[in-house]
Structure 1
Amino acid sequence: MAVDNALSSPLGPPACEKDAKALQFIEEMTRNTDSVQEDVLAKILTQNAEVEYLKRFDLDGATDRETFKSKIPMIRYEDLQPEIQRIANGDRSSILSTHPISEFLTSSGTSAGERKLMPTIKQELDRRQLLYSLLMPVMNLYVPGLDKGKGLYFLFVKSETRTPGGLFARPVLTSYYKSDHFKTRPYDPYNVYTSPNEAILCADSFQSMYTQMLCGLLEREQVLRVGAVFASGLLRAIRFLQLHWLGTF
């Protein structure tokens, strides 16, 4: 597909117009990172000027970086834990955000042995999807023909809980896979998976792996690439195949 020169990227020739726009966005966001970050901070402070937490520090409407650094202290998770617990217990007032908290994202728990709760809003899913959409345009610069086959990607959900106030608490990828952003995503030839949504969303990790592996083997002639979000996931898939292929497939 011919791409307009106006959309060309310094990173290289894009594969299509959609890729060109994504690469242009990357270029714009990374060319002037200082001003971009200052603008993002100003938008966050303006939008959340009336939240309970920020009002404690008397910003008086200031949105510049220097005022923010001089008045807002460096904190740890434990410093915000009382506010987070209030939200988890059902307090819907503007404590940390003017937008309603839609759910909690959980940490892996590897640093302190206990999962931390990170409040998030529905609008964050849009930003997350935008970040995910930038992967293939960059890969297409270096590996041509990625739209000609399917991807055998091992994607999994993990367990989730509800807080006393009724909000979900779950890992970030589980949140994304269970959202409409993923389940009703538009067709994209660069992101066609062998695994159906039902296999990815299966809560039983063994059954999910079995089904995804089976679908990949059944469509092996179309598999162009193999992967997982984390390298450990791919290693787990290889080990699963070693342990079970003789008696199962």
Structure 2
Amino acid sequence: MALINSLVSWLNTKRLSQIDFFKNHPIETQKETLTQLIEQASHTEWGNKYDFKSIRTLSDFKERLPVQTYEDIEPYINRLRNGEQNIFWPSEIKWFAKSSGTTNSKSKFIPVSKEALENCHFRGGKDILAIYTSLYPETGILKGKGLTLGGSHQINNIKNESYYGDLSAILIQNLPFWADFIRTPDTSIVLMDEWEEKLNRMTEATLNENVTSLSGVPSWFLVLLKHILKASGKNNILEIWPNLELFVHGGVSFTPYVEQFKKLLPSKNMNYLETYNASEGFFGIQDNPFDDAMLLMLDYGIYYEFIPVDSLGDEHFKAISLEEVNLHTNYAIVITTNGGLWRYQIGDTVRFTSKDPYKFKISGRTKLFINAFGEELIIDNAEKAIQMACAKTNSIIKEYTAAPVFMASGQKGTHQWLIEFEKAPNNIDEFNFILDNALMSVNSDYEAKRYKNITLEKPHITIAKPGLFYLWLKEKGKLGGQNKVPRLSNNRDLIEELLQKNN
């Protein structure tokens, strides 16, 4: 094993040097990335429309190309899906990552070029291994196989062969043949559409494998691991896979699931690394197990801009470049990519914790928040408060969502939290009290609205029956993959739908 680790270390040396370079020269790396993207796409329809050939400066780029959303470019994407090419990007586009629709019920189809696959998504996967093995030189991760829990893919034949599915499924479908030797189960099982049948098949296929790493969305991995545990009759997952040492997670905040994973994987040698790999690109990797921020990956063919969240409602807002960001400020992300997205606002928000190197945390979604009374509650606030309440009441949350309760005659506004507990608190009123105070401690706007109950009353908590959220996702055809329950909503549509099922 020492020989294999030494070989891997030797192969990773060049890549780790490249990572060190962009950490030390972030602005230069980003400027070179943008120049290359403009040059590559200069002869596309988009390049002609905005005259890429005459762009000389960053100011030219920002003044000429507008910041856009999916709705702005959807007609062009529909043309791509119908077989037209060379619209956004010069290479052939035949793969489309279908979004889970967490902020919009309408599906989004994000174009995935071969450059995005090779130089962004696959490079991100290789970098996880490079970073992990550099952190843990004595790792035994290469002794066994990696278990990846992906989505499904479908073939869409409108006028040509264009393929769409979860991003994870697209990546698995395009992996080289030798990848089958280092992962489990095989592709035919991983890409199954029917989630509950997939659970059974994955369990059968992996029970007797030597699994050393896991990769996927925490919420769905919990479902799989509990299913495997029940089938095996064991007390914990390490009795099945004693050499398991790493879980690479992303897609949702890991905070609500930490205690459940510790229970299933009771080992001090179990390691966790967060990644930020969205349909639009691979953005970040946690490169330090003692720092929960992620390193912004700057040489994946993505140019970054940021809009302060406070400016999103201003029609005169301006997107700023990396060198202009401030620490601990919430920004909406705008990206230009080697997949053909140009100044595209992806809907996620981040805040930087470091500028040397650039490290960040995901703070929420631009459309996933509660601001019915000026409280500006974002997911980052909610996750921290939930964590505090669980820690102080010795409880564990499985799933939750929250929405405003609007003011009525003689009644003040409040927030309703619909929570499914894995382990319920002994006293729900105590939990509510701690949750409320935690929210006030992390959000001054919420605190101001709660002052003497002037605008907001304390939260109302409704306990969800077991399996409520799972049933809702099943009925929506969103079991497995990268699908998730929206945590916060600024209206009551979702929570009312769930409450009807909770009766």
TM-score by length of structure 2 reads 0.41
Write the letter of the residue equivalent to 2:118: D
Mark the CA change 1:78 to 1:198 in structure 2 (over 3 Å): closer, same or farther: closer
Mark the CA change 1:236 to 1:228 in structure 2 (over 3 Å): closer, same or farther: farther
Cα offset, 1:139, TM superposition? 1.3
Superimposed CA distance per residue, residues 142-177 of structure 1 (whole angstroms, 9 cap, x where no aligned partner): 332224632452423314241523311222111111
- Distance, in Å, in 1 between the alignment partners of 2:38 and 2:46 is 11
Which residue of 133, 140, 154 corresponds with 1:160? 154
Write the letter of the residue equivalent to 1:45: I
TM-score by length of structure 1 reads 0.78
Cα offset, 1:70, TM superposition? 1.4
Kept in 2, the 8 Å contact 1:14–1:137? The answer is: no
Superimposed CA distance per residue, residues 65-92 of structure 1 (whole angstroms, 9 cap, x where no aligned partner): 2210111111111111111112222323
Cα offset, 1:137, TM superposition? 1.8
- Distance, in Å, in 2 between the alignment partners of 1:195 and 1:161 is 22
Kept in 2, the 8 Å contact 1:154–1:209? The answer is: no
Residue in structure 2 matched with residue 173 of structure 1 by the alignment = 168
Query: Is the counterpart of residue 82 in structure 1 residue 71 in structure 2?
Result: no
Output aligned runs, 1:182-193, within 5 Å: 182-185=176-179, 192-193=182-183
Kept in 2, the 8 Å contact 1:161–1:168? The answer is: yes
Gaps of 5+ in 1: 3-12
- Distance, in Å, in 2 between the alignment partners of 1:177 and 1:71 is 37
Write the letter of the residue equivalent to 2:214: G
Write the letter of the residue equivalent to 1:169: Y
Mark the CA change 1:163 to 1:38 in structure 2 (over 3 Å): closer, same or farther: farther
Cα offset, 1:34, TM superposition? 0.9
Query: Is the counterpart of residue 205 in structure 1 residue 200 in structure 2?
Result: no
Superimposed CA distance per residue, residues 113-156 of structure 1 (whole angstroms, 9 cap, x where no aligned partner): 12211122223221121111011121123332224632452423
Output aligned runs, 1:35-74, within 5 Å: 35-74=28-67
Output aligned runs, 1:19-30, within 5 Å: 19-30=12-23
Query: Is the counterpart of residue 216 in structure 1 residue 209 in structure 2?
Result: no
- Distance, in Å, in 1 between the alignment partners of 2:40 and 2:187 is 36
Mark the CA change 1:196 to 1:58 in structure 2 (over 3 Å): closer, same or farther: closer
Residue in structure 2 matched with residue 6 of structure 1 by the alignment = none
Q: For structure 1, which segment, 64-73 or 234-243, has the greater mean C-alpha deviation from structure 2 after superposition?
A: 234-243
Q: Which has the higher helix share?
A: 1
Q: For structure 1, which segment, 154-163 or 112-121, has the greater mean C-alpha deviation from structure 2 after superposition?
A: 154-163
Kept in 2, the 8 Å contact 1:41–1:63? The answer is: no
Query: Is the counterpart of residue 196 in structure 1 residue 183 in structure 2?
Result: no
Kept in 1, the 8 Å contact 2:9–2:133? The answer is: no
Q: For structure 1, which segment, 137-146 or 205-214, has the greater mean C-alpha deviation from structure 2 after superposition?
A: 205-214
- Distance, in Å, in 1 between the alignment partners of 2:84 and 2:19 is 38
Cα offset, 1:41, TM superposition? 0.8
- Distance, in Å, in 2 between the alignment partners of 1:69 and 1:14 is 45
- Distance, in Å, in 2 between the alignment partners of 1:186 and 1:62 is 44
Kept in 1, the 8 Å contact 2:146–2:213? The answer is: yes
Cα offset, 1:14, TM superposition? 9.8
Report the secondary structure of 1:160's partner residue. Answer: strand
Cα offset, 1:244, TM superposition? 4.7
- Distance, in Å, in 2 between the alignment partners of 1:182 and 1:14 is 20
Cα offset, 1:195, TM superposition? 2.7
- Distance, in Å, in 1 between the alignment partners of 2:171 and 2:14 is 23
Mark the CA change 1:24 to 1:136 in structure 2 (over 3 Å): closer, same or farther: same
Query: Is the counterpart of residue 17 in structure 1 residue 10 in structure 2?
Result: yes
Write the letter of the residue equivalent to 1:165: K
Mark the CA change 1:183 to 1:198 in structure 2 (over 3 Å): closer, same or farther: farther
- Distance, in Å, in 2 between the alignment partners of 1:48 and 1:208 is 40
- Distance, in Å, in 1 between the alignment partners of 2:202 and 2:80 is 37
- Distance, in Å, in 2 between the alignment partners of 1:156 and 1:229 is 7
Cα offset, 1:226, TM superposition? 4.4
Report the secondary structure of 2:96's partner residue. Answer: strand
Report the secondary structure of 1:218's partner residue. Answer: coil
Query: Which 4+ runs in 1 deviate beyond 4 A?
Result: 242-246
Would you say how many aligned residue pairs link Structure 1 and Structure 2? Answer: 227
> Which of the two has higher C-alpha Rg?
2
- Distance, in Å, in 2 between the alignment partners of 1:164 and 1:213 is 36
- Distance, in Å, in 2 between the alignment partners of 1:169 and 1:186 is 22
Identity of aligned residues (%): 17
Kept in 2, the 8 Å contact 1:104–1:118? The answer is: yes
- Distance, in Å, in 1 between the alignment partners of 2:223 and 2:103 is 22
Cα offset, 1:242, TM superposition? 5.3
Write the letter of the residue equivalent to 1:231: P
Q: Which has the higher strand share?
A: 2
- Distance, in Å, in 2 between the alignment partners of 1:75 and 1:16 is 42
Higher relative contact order structure (alpha carbons within 8 Å, sequence separation ≥ 6): 1
Cα offset, 1:43, TM superposition? 0.9
